[in-house]
Amino acid sequence: MVLHGSPVGLHRVLAPAGVLPQAAERLDTRADLWPDETRVRVQRLNLDAASFRQLEHDHDHDGDRIRAAVLDIVARRGKMQNPVTGSGGMLVGRVEAVGPQSPLGLRVGDRVATLVSLTLTPLVIEDGLARWDGRSEQVPTDGYAVLFGRSGAAVLPDDLPVALSLAVLDVCGAPALTARVVEQHGSAEGPVVAVVGGAGKSGSLSLAAAKVAGARRTIGVVPHQAEADLLAAAGVADAVVVADARDPVALCEAVATAGGPADVTVVCVDVPGCEGGAILATAGGGTVVFFSMATSFPAAALGAEGLAADVTMLVGNGFVPGHADLALGLLRGHPGVRWLIERRLGSAAPGAATMAP
Contact set with its own copies (CB under 8 A) = 8, 10, 18-23, 115-117, 119-120, 150-152, 173, 247-250, 276, 280, 290, 293, 295-298, 300-321
Nearest Cα to 352, choosing from 164, 176, 344? 344
If you ran DSSP here, which 8-state letter would residue 29 be given?
A: -
Give the nearer residue to its own copies in terms of CB position, either 179 or 300.
Answer: 300
Asked if 91 and 120 count as a contact pair (C-beta separation under 8 A), the reply is no
Asked if 232 and 321 count as a contact pair (C-beta separation under 8 A), the reply is no
Q: Where are the beta strands (DSSP E) in 48-137?
A: 89-98, 111-114, 123-125
Sign of CA dihedral 240, 241, 242, 243: negative
Q: How far is the CB of 5 from its own copies (least distance, A)?
A: 14
Q: How far is the CB of 158 from its own copies (least distance, A)?
A: 25
Residues in the chain: 357
Give the nearer residue to its own copies in terms of CB position, either 128 or 306.
Answer: 306
Query: How many other C-beta atoms can be found within 10 angstroms of the C-beta atom of residue 85?
Result: 16
Q: How far is the CB of 180 from its own copies (least distance, A)?
A: 9
Give the nearer residue to its own copies in terms of CB position, either 122 or 134.
Answer: 122
Give the nearer residue to its own copies in terms of CB position, either 21 or 175.
Answer: 21
Q: How far is the CB of 348 from its own copies (least distance, A)?
A: 29
Give the nearer residue to its own copies in terms of CB position, either 286 or 336.
Answer: 286
Q: How far is the CB of 345 from its own copies (least distance, A)?
A: 23
Q: How far apart are CA 145 and CA 33, in angstroms?
A: 11
If you ran DSSP here, which 8-state letter would residue 120 be given?
A: G
